[in-house]
């Protein structure tokens, strides 16, 4: 009902958030505020004392205007019938002349944001807003500040405006017309069914077999009950015993034959389903995996690995079980209900109507019971999930628990959570134990009443009612119980399946943030000339990570980047590799914007060696030739030698065929890093990014790796990000980054002579190394941690 | 040892500077921002952040300058005079403001999202919570709900909201 009501609602036009709606303009004009020169507008939801209201903020060449008011939206019915318009009531207007504003800025609090005006270093608060609107206010400040600076407002594209729900105007997933709240499950069902399109003959065969199976089930009581009682046991024609026994034998054989036929049909149906369903699930899993490979890094950063694996495995299985178990049963049950009702009405219309009067009541009881149980089942599920998390937490943290001698405390925590789970289960069990017999009694009472009424009809001989007819009628009535119960429950099962399907389609439909232009170029060779101009980037609105950064690296040059954690070093590397797109500014490679380059060309020419070394499951040789699968064994050995990996590889029993990755040979951090360097050497990229490639290693190991890195960087444009400043001594240029800006730039010697931040960091580090007894010119024997030891650490 | 690790262990950072109420005076700037005079040094605008915002909102409050550099920590605001406490609490209540849910009108689940229709005082509000087990956080007697935009909503005392509302939320609580 509610869905129907929702469908009647008028469709929203996509809101233009940077323009004032006409009804607001009218109200403002009436209040004496001219909006004709408004440059940019944004809507807020709070006033300056954090009370909810409908705030509008806009600016024109004269200044900034903040209007606190209330919007009144007429009922959707009135909106359609009487063409009633929304109204805006102005409560307060705050206007700040343009000359009193140097710039606008936002501050981010726990749950709100605040718009602030800055003049001569002084701050003046303007209004609060919910944190969800910070993106809109960020666009306002960019527009205002650029307008103030250049006389032209820089209006950033609003990603939310591209795709809004036709029902409510809320942002919705790319490629969709409706938000998740108003998405229609019917559409999901149609898309799911399309997966079965390639198996139409098999599905048709299964359907026919299911219907035949239902027919065989319905026919049995006609023979085993009605014919048995009325034609054999009652012996209406007074035939001899032998003849009656013969008739009885025929009946029994018929029943056996029908049951045998039914079993055959079920086996055949299961056989075809077993052949079709895994293929459909294979298609679905392949489609998800294919879509996941297409998506950008940001998609993976915003989702947990577990949740993604769930989608590939559990969600696909949810669909599998619904279509393997649920749909066949649904078809059989619907066919059974239709068939049984048809036979019941053929037997006695009066008795059927009498029986069906109470059926809605029974159905209602089943639906209410289902709702109650769903809630209780969810509660049990939630408690189990908590218990599971706690158990996993405990197992993973065993070393810490033992080190702190916290076994008893952990036991206490587990006991409490376990007890909560137990209580939830007891509550569910008790409710089930109480309600199920009551439901049984209700069904039994219905049968008894029908039996009583039918009995009266049989005694009176009304409507041709016989003992056999009555008994088979009762059997048919019983046969309806399970299908009706299933129908009351299947909606829940379908909603779970639709949930899973929707999650799967969300991945399939997701658009990668990084897309290749249609006219993207693919130069023959990339020299490695990098120019970064006024680069700006943020992961979250109003939290800039890279802030107007400009830098240039000549081909073959090595640029060292230094800075604190969170300064934006890795982000910069990711932006060069176009794993993310900049918010503003640009990165040029050989004079071409990275956004205009073919992604394949760009990525093949950028080699990334990071501290997070990932080796895939397979042999060492497979891992080294990952970037170039057709590399000869000679190339693999040459790369391994250049990366100083050949010697240790040859000491392994299976040498280059040693299996690594999960469950494979244990290698030390340094060994794994050398394999990853060999992998990059074989890629032969024009540009190399070393993102703290040796940060996870001890100083001695790092020194041994340095030689491999030196081989790798030879003749390539290199951007080296490192914590240990001594490793950047060979850099042609060094940049110190702080809060996304370059604070110092120059050669190693220049920065040391400058005695600034770089010198300070270098000095602290040199002293620290001296304290632990590591001199710069005393290379020591490599002492590396094994992979396991590292993980344990 | 990493560069920033070395920075972190500098003695001035390691030392916790507790601010004594007798050496700290808060006041408001012309536009209502909090400023302070600490140990005789004047700060134009200071920012207060809570170390334990859920359970100890009035203890261990960090004072930073506008560059977010820590000036000191207030161990407990009860040591301050009434007027000063009011200023501190007013600043904190603005920074940590969360709309308080007074009634839950409906919770609907669709495709793994939970759509909340609630009342915040007299104002009706709807929001969406994803990954409900992580985004409903318990604190003492109540809960914090975090919606998909990062907005927080608070139920200060679960026992005090109407029974109907409690029944609606109960199945989703840990």
Residue of A nearest to B97 (CA): A111
Report the run of H or E that residue A732 belongs to, with start and end. none
Whole-number Å distance between alpha carbons of A358 and A481? 12
- B96 and A109 within 8 Å at the Cβ level: the answer is yes
Q: Which of B1, B133, B149 sits opposite A132 (nearest CB)?
A: B149
Q: Is residue A383 assigned to a domain? A: no
Q: Does residue B110 carry a pLDDT above 80?
A: no
Q: Which of B2, B32, B110 sits opposite A723 (nearest CB)?
A: B2
Q: Does residue A708 carry a pLDDT above 70?
A: yes
Confidence (pLDDT) at B90: 93
Which tokens hold the place of B55? Answer: 């359970």
- A382 and B172 within 8 Å at the Cβ level: the answer is yes
Q: Does residue A777 carry a pLDDT above 60?
A: no
Q: What percent of chain A has pLDDT over 70?
A: 84
Q: Which of A375, A376, A723 sits opposite B3 (nearest CB)?
A: A723
pLDDT, mean of residues A726-750: 85
Q: pLDDT-derived band of residue A5, with 50, 70 and 90 as boundaries?
A: very low
Testing the interface with B: which of A54, A73, A111, A126 to mutate, by most B Cβ within 10 A?
Answer: A111
Q: Is residue A376 assigned to a domain? A: no
* Residue that finishes a domain, picked among A157, A172, A202: A157
Q: pLDDT-derived band of residue A100, with 50, 70 and 90 as boundaries?
A: very high
Q: Which of A111, A724, A761 sits opposite B97 (nearest CB)?
A: A111
- A382 and B4 within 8 Å at the Cβ level: the answer is no
Residue of A nearest to B95 (CA): A109
Q: Which of B3, B151, B174 sits opposite A131 (nearest CB)?
A: B151
Which chain B positions have a beta carbon within 8 Å of A183's beta carbon? 110-111
Q: Is residue A725 assigned to a domain? A: yes
Q: Is residue A699 assigned to a domain? A: yes
Confidence (pLDDT) at A58: 92
Confidence (pLDDT) at A516: 82
Q: Is residue A1 assigned to a domain? A: no
Distance from CA of B47 to the nearest CA of A (A): 11
Q: Does residue A52 carry a pLDDT above 80?
A: yes
Q: Is B138 on the interface with A (CB under 8 A)?
A: no
A126 vs A698, higher pLDDT: A126
Residues A482 and A568 placed together within one structural domain of the fold: no
Q: Is A719 helix (H, G, I), strand (E, B) or coil?
A: strand
Distance from CA of A41 to the nearest CA of B (A): 21
* Residue that finishes a domain, picked among A110, A142, A157: A157
Whole-number Å distance between alpha carbons of A648 and A625? 18
Look at residues A48, A38, A46, A37 and name the one whose alpha carbon lies nearest to residue A18.
A38
The radius of gyration of chain B from alpha carbons, rounded to an integer in Å, stands at 20
Confidence (pLDDT) at B8: 43
Report the run of H or E that residue B16 belongs to, with start and end. none
- Domain limits at A472? 185-348+465-509
Testing the interface with B: which of A73, A110, A112, A375 to mutate, by most B Cβ within 10 A?
Answer: A110
Distance from CA of A692 to the nearest CA of B (A): 10
Which residue shows structure tokens 């009342």? Answer: B119
Question: What residues does each domain of chain B span?
Answer: 3-95, 103-172
Look at residues B168, B171, B98 and name the one whose alpha carbon lies nearest to residue B139.
B98
Report the run of H or E that residue A26 belongs to, with start and end. helix A22-30
Confidence (pLDDT) at A66: 93
Confidence (pLDDT) at A2: 39
Among positive and negative, which fits the CA dihedral A617, A619, A622, A623? positive
Q: Does residue A760 carry a pLDDT above 90?
A: no
Q: Is residue A258 assigned to a domain? A: yes
Residues A331 and A189 placed together within one structural domain of the fold: yes
Confidence (pLDDT) at A423: 92
Which tokens hold the place of B149? Answer: 């935009």
- B33 and A112 within 8 Å at the Cβ level: the answer is no
pLDDT, mean of residues A10-39: 73
Q: Is B53 on the interface with A (CB under 8 A)?
A: yes
Q: Does residue A464 carry a pLDDT above 90?
A: no
Q: Is A131 on the interface with B (CB under 8 A)?
A: yes
Q: How many structural domains compose chain A? A: 3
Q: pLDDT-derived band of residue A541, with 50, 70 and 90 as boundaries?
A: low
Which chain B positions have a beta carbon within 8 Å of A383's beta carbon? 174
Q: pLDDT-derived band of residue B138, with 50, 70 and 90 as boundaries?
A: confident
- B171 and A378 within 8 Å at the Cβ level: the answer is yes
Confidence (pLDDT) at A791: 43
Distance from CA of B21 to the nearest CA of A (A): 25
B88 vs A512, higher pLDDT: B88
Which chain A positions have a beta carbon within 8 Å of B123's beta carbon? 52
Among positive and negative, which fits the CA dihedral A393, A398, A400, A404? positive
Residues A127 and A219 placed together within one structural domain of the fold: no
Look at residues A649, A653, A716 and name the one whose alpha carbon lies nearest to residue A688.
A716
Q: Does residue A484 carry a pLDDT above 60?
A: yes
Residues A216 and A100 placed together within one structural domain of the fold: no
Residues A715 and A770 placed together within one structural domain of the fold: yes
- A125 and B31 within 8 Å at the Cβ level: the answer is yes
pLDDT, mean of residues A551-578: 87
Residues A708 and A737 placed together within one structural domain of the fold: yes
- B2 and A695 within 8 Å at the Cβ level: the answer is yes
Q: What percent of chain B has pLDDT over 70?
A: 89
Confidence (pLDDT) at A463: 73
CATH number of domain containing A143: 2.30.29.30
Q: pLDDT-derived band of residue A14, with 50, 70 and 90 as boundaries?
A: very low
Confidence (pLDDT) at B105: 93
Which backbone phi and psi does A94 adopt, to 5 degrees? -115, 120
Scored b (16 or more CB within 10 A) or e, B136-151 reads: beeeeebbbbbbbebb
pLDDT in tens, A676-698: 888 988 888 889 888 887 776 66
Testing the interface with A: which of B110, B121, B155, B170 to mutate, by most A Cβ within 10 A?
Answer: B110
Q: Is residue A59 assigned to a domain? A: yes
Q: Does residue A789 carry a pLDDT above 60?
A: no
Residue of B nearest to A759 (CA): B3
Confidence (pLDDT) at B102: 93
- B171 and A379 within 8 Å at the Cβ level: the answer is yes
Residues A695 and A552 placed together within one structural domain of the fold: yes
Which chain B positions have a beta carbon within 8 Å of A564's beta carbon? 3-4, 7
Residues A575 and A489 placed together within one structural domain of the fold: no
pLDDT in tens, A238-273: 778 888 888 888 888 988 998 899 899 989 988 888
Q: Does residue B172 carry a pLDDT above 80?
A: no
B87 vs A3, higher pLDDT: B87
- A52 and B123 within 8 Å at the Cβ level: the answer is yes
pLDDT, mean of residues A292-316: 68
Confidence (pLDDT) at A77: 62
Confidence (pLDDT) at A1: 36
B24 vs A19, higher pLDDT: B24
Confidence (pLDDT) at A144: 93
Q: Does residue A792 carry a pLDDT above 60?
A: no
Whole-number Å distance between alpha carbons of A290 and A282? 12
Residues A25 and A58 placed together within one structural domain of the fold: yes
Q: Is A184 helix (H, G, I), strand (E, B) or coil?
A: coil
Whole-number Å distance between alpha carbons of A225 and A254? 12
CA A709 to chain centre: 38
**A429 CB-near residues (< 8 Å, 6+ apart):** none
Q: Is A378 on the interface with B (CB under 8 A)?
A: yes
B110 vs A318, higher pLDDT: A318
Q: Which of B3, B96, B111 sits opposite A110 (nearest CB)?
A: B96
- pTM more than 0.80: no
Confidence (pLDDT) at A15: 44
ipTM over 0.85: yes
Which chain A positions have a beta carbon within 8 Å of B150's beta carbon? 111, 131-132
pLDDT, mean of residues B72-77: 92
Confidence (pLDDT) at A778: 39
Which chain A positions have a beta carbon within 8 Å of B133's beta carbon? 382, 385-386
Distance from CA of B161 to the nearest CA of A (A): 20
Residue of A nearest to B168 (CA): A375
pLDDT in tens, A616-658: 888 999 999 998 889 899 889 988 888 888 888 988 888 898 8
Size of interface A-B (CB pairs under 8 A): 106
Q: Which of A112, A181, A383 sits opposite B97 (nearest CB)?
A: A112
Which backbone phi and psi does B24 adopt, to 5 degrees? -140, 120
Which tokens hold the place of B103? Answer: 């009634």
Q: pLDDT-derived band of residue A788, with 50, 70 and 90 as boundaries?
A: very low
Q: pLDDT-derived band of residue B7, with 50, 70 and 90 as boundaries?
A: very low
pLDDT, mean of residues B58-87: 91
Q: pLDDT-derived band of residue B89, with 50, 70 and 90 as boundaries?
A: very high
pLDDT, mean of residues A310-316: 72
Give the up-direction half-sphere exposure of residue A101: CA atoms within 13 A in the CB hemisphere. 26
DSSP secondary structure of A414-470: HHHHHHHHHHHHHHHHHHHHHHHHHHHHHHHHHHHHHHHHHHHHHHHTGGG--HHHH
Q: Does residue A126 carry a pLDDT above 70?
A: yes
- B151 and A502 within 8 Å at the Cβ level: the answer is no
DSSP A229: I
pLDDT in tens, A151-168: 888 887 766 555 666 666
Quick check: B134 and A342 in contact, CB under 8 A? no
Pairing of strands B70-76, B59-65: antiparallel
Q: Average per-residue pLDDT in chain A?
A: 80
Which tokens hold the place of A651? Answer: 């000491």
Whole-number Å distance between alpha carbons of A345 and A356? 11
Confidence (pLDDT) at B73: 92
CATH number of domain containing A779: 3.40.50.300
Q: Is A379 on the interface with B (CB under 8 A)?
A: yes
Among positive and negative, which fits the CA dihedral A207, A213, A217, A218? positive
CA-to-CA dists, residue B67 to A518, A741, A766, B43, B70, angstroms: 45, 15, 29, 11, 9
A6 vs A452, higher pLDDT: A452
Confidence (pLDDT) at A772: 60
Q: Does residue B6 carry a pLDDT above 60?
A: no
CATH number of domain containing A270: 1.20.1560.10
pLDDT, mean of residues A146-154: 87
Residues A745 and A779 placed together within one structural domain of the fold: yes
Q: Does residue A758 carry a pLDDT above 70?
A: yes
For A558-594, the three-class secondary structure string (H helix, E strand, C coil) is EEEEEECCCCCHHHHHHHHCCCCCCCEEEEEECCEEH
Distance from CA of A125 to the nearest CA of B (A): 7
A55 vs A462, higher pLDDT: A55
Q: pLDDT-derived band of residue A8, with 50, 70 and 90 as boundaries?
A: very low
Q: pLDDT-derived band of residue A103, with 50, 70 and 90 as boundaries?
A: very high
Residue of A nearest to B171 (CA): A379
Q: Does residue B111 carry a pLDDT above 80?
A: no
Residues A604 and A550 placed together within one structural domain of the fold: yes
Residues A340 and A191 placed together within one structural domain of the fold: yes
- A52 and B99 within 8 Å at the Cβ level: the answer is yes
B58 vs A703, higher pLDDT: B58
Confidence (pLDDT) at A179: 66
- A130 and B112 within 8 Å at the Cβ level: the answer is no
């Amino acid at each position: 009902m509610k869905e129907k009501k929702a469908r009647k609602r008028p469709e929203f036009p996509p809101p233009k958030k940077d323009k004032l709606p006409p009804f607001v303009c009218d109200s403002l004009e009436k209040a004496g505020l001219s909006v004709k020169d408004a440059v940019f507008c944004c809507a807020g939801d709070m006033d300056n004392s954090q009370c909810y209201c409908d705030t509008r903020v806009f600016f024109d060449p004269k200044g900034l205007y903040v209007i606190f008011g209330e919007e009144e939206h007429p009922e959707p019915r009135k909106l359609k019938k009487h063409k009633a318009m929304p109204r805006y009531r102005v409560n307060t207007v705050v206007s700040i002349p343009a000359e009193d504003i140097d710039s606008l800025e936002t501050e981010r609090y726990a749950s709100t944001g605040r718009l602030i005006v800055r003049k001569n270093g002084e701050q003046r608060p303007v209004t609060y807003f919910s944190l969800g609107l910070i993106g809109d206010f960020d666009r306002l400040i960019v527009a205002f500040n650029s307008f103030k600076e250049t006389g032209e407002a820089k209006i950033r594209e609003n990603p939310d405006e591209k795709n809004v729900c036709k029902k409510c105007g809320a942002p919705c997933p790319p490629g969709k017309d409706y938000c998740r709240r108003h998405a229609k499950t019917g559409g999901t069902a149609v898309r799911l069914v399309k997966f079965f399109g390639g198996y139409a003959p098999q599905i048709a065969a299964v359907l026919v077999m299911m219907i035949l199976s239902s027919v065989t089930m319905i026919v049995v009581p006609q023979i085993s009950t009605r014919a048995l009682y009325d034609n054999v046991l009652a012996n209406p024609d007074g035939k001899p015993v032998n003849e009656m026994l013969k008739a009885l034998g025929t009946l029994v054989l018929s029943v056996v034959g029908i049951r045998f036929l039914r079993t055959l049909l079920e086996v055949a149906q299961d056989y075809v389903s077993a052949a079709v369903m895994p293929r459909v699930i294979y298609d679905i899993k392949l489609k998800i995996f294919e879509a996941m490979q297409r998506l950008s890094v940001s998609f993976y950063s915003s989702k947990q690995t577990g949740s993604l694996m769930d989608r590939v495995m559990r969600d696909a299985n949810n669909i599998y079980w619904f279509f393997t178990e649920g749909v066949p049963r649904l078809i059989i049950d619907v066919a059974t209900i239709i068939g049984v009702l048809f036979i019941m009405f053929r037997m006695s219309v009066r008795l059927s109507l009498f029986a069906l009067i109470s059926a809605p009541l029974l159905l209602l009881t089943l639906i209410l019971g289902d709702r109650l149980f769903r809630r209780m089942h969810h509660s049990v599920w939630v408690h189990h999930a908590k218990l599971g998390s706690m158990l996993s937490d405990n197992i993973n943290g065993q070393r810490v628990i033992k080190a702190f001698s916290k076994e008893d405390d952990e036991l206490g925590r587990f006991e409490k959570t376990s007890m909560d789970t137990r209580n939830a289960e007891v509550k569910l069990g008790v409710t089930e134990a109480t309600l199920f017999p009551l439901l049984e009694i209700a069904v039994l009472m219905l049968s008894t009443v029908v039996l009583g009424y039918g009995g009266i009809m049989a005694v009176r001989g009304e409507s041709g009612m016989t003992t056999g007819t009555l008994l088979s009628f009762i059997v048919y009535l019983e046969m309806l119980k399970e299908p009706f119960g299933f129908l009351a429950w299947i909606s829940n099962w379908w909603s779970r399946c639709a949930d899973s399907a929707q999650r799967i389609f969300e991945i399939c439909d997701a658009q990668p943030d990084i897309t290749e232009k249609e006219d993207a170029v693919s130069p023959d060779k990339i020299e490695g000339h990098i120019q970064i101009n006024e680069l700006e980037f943020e992961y979250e609105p109003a939290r800039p990570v890279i802030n107007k950064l400009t830098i240039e690296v000549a081909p073959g040059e090595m640029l060292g980047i230094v800075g604190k954690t969170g300064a934006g070093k890795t982000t910069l590397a990711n932006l060069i590799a176009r794993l993310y797109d900049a918010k503003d500014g640009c990165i040029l490679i050989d004079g071409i914007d990275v956004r205009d380059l073919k992604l394949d060309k760009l990525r093949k020419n950028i080699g990334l060696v990071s501290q997070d070394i990932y080796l895939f499951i397979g042999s060492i040789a497979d891992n080294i030739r990952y970037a170039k699968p057709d590399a000869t064994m000679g190339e693999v050995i040459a790369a391994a030698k250049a990366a100083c990996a050949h010697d240790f590889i040859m000491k392994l029993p299976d040498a280059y065929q040693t299996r690594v990755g999960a469950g494979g040979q244990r290698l030390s951090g340094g060994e794994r890093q050398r394999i990853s360097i060999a992998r990059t050497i074989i890629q032969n990229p024009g540009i190399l990014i070393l993102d703290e490639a040796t940060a996870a290693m001890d100083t001695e190991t790092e020194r041994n790796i340095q030689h491999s890195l030196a081989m790798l960087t030879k003749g390539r444009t290199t951007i080296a990000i490192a914590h240990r400043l001594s490793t950047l001594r060979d850099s042609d240029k060094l940049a110190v980054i702080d809060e996304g800006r370059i604070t110092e730039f120059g050669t190693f010697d220049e920065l040391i002579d400058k005695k600034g931040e770089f010198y300070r960091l270098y000095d602290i580090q040199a002293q620290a190394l001296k304290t632990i007894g590591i001199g710069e010119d005393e290379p020591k024997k490599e002492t590396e941690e094994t992979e396991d030891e590292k993980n344990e650490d | 040892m990493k560069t920033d690790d070395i920075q972190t262990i500098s003695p001035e950072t390691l030392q916790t500077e507790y601010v004594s109420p007798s050496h700290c005076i808060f006041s408001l700037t012309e536009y209502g921002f909090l400023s302070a005079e600490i140990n005789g040094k004047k700060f134009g605008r200071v920012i207060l952040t809570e170390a334990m915002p859920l359970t100890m909102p009035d203890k261990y409050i960090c004072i930073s300058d506008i560059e977010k550099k820590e000036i000191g920590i207030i161990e407990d605001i009860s040591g301050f005079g009434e007027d000063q406490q009011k200023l501190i609490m007013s600043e904190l209540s603005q920074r940590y403001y969360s709309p308080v849910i007074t009634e839950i009108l409906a919770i609907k689940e669709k495709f793994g999202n939970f759509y909340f229709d609630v009342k915040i005082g007299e104002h009706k509000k709807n929001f969406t919570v994803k990954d409900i087990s992580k985004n409903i956080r318990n604190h003492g007697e109540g809960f914090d709900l975090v919606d998909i935009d990062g907005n927080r909503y608070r139920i200060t005392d679960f026992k005090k909201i109407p029974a109907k509302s409690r029944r609606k939320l109960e199945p989703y609580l840990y």
